[in-house]
Amino acid sequence: MKNSSRLRANAAFARIRTGLQNALDHAEGRRLLTVREVKLPPVPRPMSAAEIAALRVNVLGVSQQVFAGMLNASPKSVHAWEQGRAKPAGTTLRFLRVLEHRPDVALELVEK
């Protein structure tokens, strides 16, 4: 019984060691993570016109022009989103959802 216990401990140690080495390799740029190793975020849910306007005004406190610059979008697009005539999608929608949780990221994009 002592040998089987030791074998399990050695196997567990080997898995932990491999995991730690993989983490170090990734942190030092020697390893690329794949979908087998990470859980990807779900597709972001759409944002309503009111949510977009509230994010811009209440959270970030910027004009449509500045907001458009932060998103690399046109001011006309921002205006259309806030009027409900168009909806952001893809990368823009993902970034808007990030800004909801990390508004400080947006402020790093502009110089005062």
Does residue 53 share a domain with residue 102? yes
pLDDT of residue 101: 93
pTM to 2 decimal places:
0.68
Residue 112 lies in a domain: no
Residue 85 has pLDDT above 90, yes or no: yes
Closest C-alpha to 44, from 91, 111, 103, 110:
91
Query: What confidence tier does 1 reach under pLDDT thresholds 50, 70, 90?
Result: low
- Considering just the CA atoms, what is the radius of gyration of the chain in Å? 22
pLDDT of residue 37: 74
Query: pLDDT tens, 16-65?
Result: 887 778 778 777 877 777 777 778 889 999 999 999 999 999 999 999 99
The parent domain of residue 69 ranges over 49-107
DSSP secondary structure code for residue 59 in this structure: I
Does residue 72 share a domain with residue 34? no
How many structural domains comprise the chain? 2
Cβ count near 56 (within 10 Å)? 24
